[in-house]
Amino acid sequence: MVAYRSYCANYFLLVLISFCLLHFRDRINRETLTLTLPETNTTAVNDVKDDADVVDRGAARSNYIVRFVEYKDAEDHRAYLQGKIELDGWEWIERRNPAAKFPTDFGVVAIDELARTSLIEEFERLELVKDVSADLSYSRSVLAEGAGRVGAFVDGKKRPGKIFSSMSYSEGEYYATDMSNSTISWNRHLLMQRYQVTSFFGARGLWEKGYTGAKVKMAIFDTGIRANHPHFRNIKERTNWTNEDTLNDNLGHGTFVAGVIAGQYDECLGFAPDTEIYAFRVFTDAQVSYTSWFLDAFNYAIATNMDVLNLSIGGPDYLDLPFVEKIWELTANNIIMVSAIGNDGPLYGTLNNPADQSDVIGVGGIDYGDHIASFSSRGMSTWEIPHGYGRVKPDVVAYGKEIMGSSISANCKSLSGTSVASPVVAGVVCLLVSVIPESDRKKILNPASMKQALVEGAARLPDANMYEQGAGRVHLLESYEILKSYQPRASIFPSILDYSECPYSWPFCRQPLYAGAMPVIFNATILNGMGVLGYVESPPTWHPSDEEGNLLSIRFTYSEVIWPWTGYLALHMQIKEEASMFSGEIEGNVTVKIYSPPAQGEKNIRRSTCVLQLKLKVVPTPPRSKRVLWDQFHSIKYPPGYIPRDSLDVRNDILDWHGDHLHTNFHIMFNMLRDAGYYVETLGSPLTCFDARQYGTLLLVDLEDEYFEEEIQKLRDDVINTGLGLAVFAEWYNVDTMVKMRFFDDNTRSWWTPVTGGANIPALNDLLAPFGIAFGDKILNGDFSIDGEHSRYASGTDIIRFPAGGYVHAFPFLDSSESAATQSVLITSAMAKADSPILGLLELGEGRIAVYGDSNCLDSSHMVTNCYWLLRKILDFTSGNIKDPVLFSTSVRQAAALYQDDNQLPSRRTDVDFSAYSAVVGKELVCRNDSRFEVWGTKGYSLHVRGRSRRLPGYHAIDLGRGLNSTVETSNLKRPQWTQRNKDEHSANNFFGLLYRDELDMPVLVASHWLVPALIAVTGSFAFLKLLANSAEAAPAQERVKLWSIR
């Protein structure tokens, strides 16, 4: 009875927390992506079996997910809607699948397109309705041998389904034989040895100890499996969640994944042959799935108490909220999820969701030489950009190149991709789960403790950085040793930041700290193996190992509430001004205390102290001419809006989703600048938040946002009077082309058109207007050469205003702005090439300015040729007044100004609500926590009183930092405060303040900062209510946490 009361009390605590955090609304308004409704009738993929499809697919109807605030039988939800909604034009869709016998938290309705807006408004007014969203379609490609990888876009056109990353591709099939090895060719024998992936991890050592994955329930979300496949001895259940009437795998991917995890065939052994296989067929033969199928399948996995779940899919859209929230619910219910990090490598900033979530084990791929596979996506996570810094992902890497697994035909074949590496880790996890006695598994094993065992046991690769390999290659036997003696605890990942460890600590090890710099942010993950819910007991503390450590000031932002299983700890590090001439190392530890409520049968609170070791390199403050400031604040990326790719020649990846950060798709440029002796810092706040006297050049590259009037005024003064150099790399912008680039998205049932061009030229022109400079709306393409350096101008713009006396370079380029940008275009006489100005250099007052109309040559995502040579020459000029004789030839000096009237300048779009994506439009100017400590929470330099900054509401007064070693800024999650708000007081932007660029009450750093309140707000105690309803007959340990929302 005591345990029962303790259990109830713990869950009641969750309910109390939910009430106090309801000012975050867990919904997203995807209508911001809509330009116009479809003009013709459209059809949607069936959501149910043929005999249950009650929707007239010939009509203009689309399926939508209606989420409710609590779990009930589907019929109860249906009756509730039918009793409350008086409008016509909608119909409930019955879902006949194995989850139908369990309570559900959502329903699927078909809505007439003409009545969509009014019906969705009516649904969302209902007290028990959480939100309404499109039933998104997932699609992925399992490619044939010799084929190229296929993504969401082909030749500029969007394929049906949700935006995705292709997950694997074939390397070949190998057929079984009854002959002995002596009669098999020697080459074949060596080949089979090479591909036996289990031998590389020492799995046989655990098999010989009797650990084979027995009594571990493994959910495989994929393309299904054949019932009588001879490679498997323990297929427990096969379920179909699609609209096709089959349980079999007709593609082979699900069979292959299952084989890697639990195959028993000698030539393609799996890791845990006795694991219980539960095959969830969530993809059709056309490789299409829907969110509603996943939600039902996820609910069923929770209801049937799965232990491990492998999900070899992913994509860039981390704002598919019903899907993302259900992942949180899965892990909160102690299901260990393993997911592929994506096949968008070697590009950086290409992590796929859900593997990029901190509660999921994200897996990257390596080859048999322990090198990062070229296809494996790289970090960092981009949820936190531009106002913070990304997390380390993947968590671990595993072999994913030419891995042998089971085929449909009962032979073996090889596949490559992170969707292959993912089941390798899932198989390792199943094997490790079986090591723990079944009676103790739920007490010890959870998503956090398993991740701790994997990352702490991993073998670090010597030639890869943390955003390529995470903790390193999975080491089965080391993780086994950790789990054998594991006691629930919290830890930090990564646990060490060492500037002397290159390349692992890249980019930190590439640039030392120095006084006067912007704070360097390191974003670590808190793993809480003590419980699904945890708290930070006291502020983190910096403990320097010697007196020199006092030269370092650290401020912390972190998630006070850790749920589910994970949180974040971000360090904002500055060197004090008195260390401007210091050179050496600073060492010490950061500690933070975590506690969780007592576990079942326990009376005492669980506590743990986490330690993060620091070893930092410090150098004297560099001269101004060597310091470059990168503007991150004015960058906007996908999601939530359609932000187009900078080069329109790239038609298979048309979204700009890689982060546009120095350490993602501009990482090669960052390394080049460091090699050239420049120190590059990042500004994630407005231009009023930096001291121009400290920097040689402000670097503006590929920016999409607007500018505050105060920024425009300050930059003018910074350049003309303070001597700041300004270097601008713009991009294309043409409204007609943007309109032609639109596509109809069957996911959101709406037309998508770009929110802006490759860059926001109208905004840049406002910023440059005080200098007499403006860009045009041409889209230029062509090759050119300056001083023997050859470059490609890829979808760049032209310069149409420039002062007399400046130096302007023009070249004969093709203007494709009048053509369909996403279609193949034939060059005709009507599209003659003409000289277009693309590069301008100017001395103005005390400062110097350089503008160039293309940034693709700096962006490693889809670069044709680089222009690093040009960037170096520009920085030599803007920072050091060193003039290259070719760039400053008298032949290109402008005797007269370039000038076009205002009505000839590119204009802003009037059909887009830009405030939904902007950090400027409709927002208040404020310096965030990635600016210098002395201006946190103010409007910036020259706009506040020195010494004691003028404060904005919600910010604590901040000392200038000269006397403190560490200061704390936590998330705004305090202990429960009993406030209640109306449902209509919330907006989607309040919840996704970081992602929709709204300014919250506190500076927001990372995903967990807003994820946690959202999670807790929707975290429910379905198990608690069930316990009260059903008395104490069911053992508390068997109850499950369900997500729900309280209005």
Of the candidates 141, 376, 419, 625, the residue annotated as catalytic is: 419
Phi and psi at residue 630, to the nearest 5°: -95, 125
Query: Which residues, other chains included, contact 960 with Cβ-Cβ below 8 Å and sequence gap of 6+?
Result: 933, 934, 947
Catalytic residue, chosen from 77, 253, 572, 1009, is 253
Q: Which residues contact 523 (CB under 8 A, 6 or more apart)?
A: 380, 384, 388, 389, 390, 391, 392, 568, 569, 570, 1005, 1006
Whose structure tokens read 């560490």?
A: 966
Specify whether the CB–CB gap between 1043 and 532 falls below 8 A. Answer: no
Environment class of 1015 (CB within 10 Å of its CB; exposed 0-12, middle 13-18, buried 19+): buried
Q: How many angstroms separate the CA atoms of 303 and 322, rounded? A: 18
Q: Enter the tokens of residue 168.
A: 């694997």
In sign, the C-alpha dihedral spanning 982, 988, 991, 994 is negative
In one letter, which amino acid is 875? L
Structure tokens at 820: 């369909």
Number of DSSP helices (H) and strands (E) in the chain, helices first: 21, 42
Nearest to 958 by CA among 999, 1003, 919: 1003
Would you tell me how many other CB atoms lie within 10 Å of the CB of residue 872? 16
Assess whether 135 carries a catalytic annotation: no
DSSP label of 515: B
Pick from 449, 467, 417, 622: nearest CA to 527: 449
Length of the chain measured in residues: 1047
Backbone φ, ψ for residue 672 (5° rounding): -65, -45
The Cα-based distances of 146 to 149, 170, 234, 395, 415 in angstroms read 9, 8, 34, 30, 12
The answer to whether the beta carbons of residues 922 and 989 sit under 8 Å apart is no
The reply to whether 222 belongs to the active site is yes
Tokens of 535: 């708290």
Q: Which of 26, 47, 135, 222 is catalytic?
A: 222
Residues 6+ apart with CB under 8 A from 962: 576, 577, 578
Cα(37)–Cα(835) distance, rounded to whole angstroms?
Answer: 40
Question: How many Cα atoms within 13 Å fall on the side-chain side of residue 57?
Answer: 9
CA distance 605 to 593: 13
SS3 180: coil
Rounded Cα distance, 71 and 947, in Å: 54
Rounded-to-integer distance, Cα 571 and Cα 497, Å? 11
Which runs of E-coded beta strand occur in 176-307?
A: 217-222, 235-240, 276-281, 288-290
CA 211, 482, 539 angle in degrees (round to 5)?
Answer: 145
Write out the two tokens for 231.
């490679």
Characterise 937 by phi-psi region: left (phi > 0), alpha (psi -120 to 50), beta (else).
Answer: left
Q: Are 427 and 471 in contact (CB under 8 A)?
A: no
Beta strands in 317-371 (DSSP E): 336-340, 361-366
Is 137 catalytic? The answer is no
φ/ψ of 970, rounded to 5, equals -100, 175
| Largest separation between any pair of C-alpha atoms in the chain | 92
Gap between the Cα atoms of 417 and 424, Å rounded: 11
Q: What CA–CA distance (Å, rounded) separates 641 from 30?
A: 9
Active-site residues, by number, are 222, 253, 419
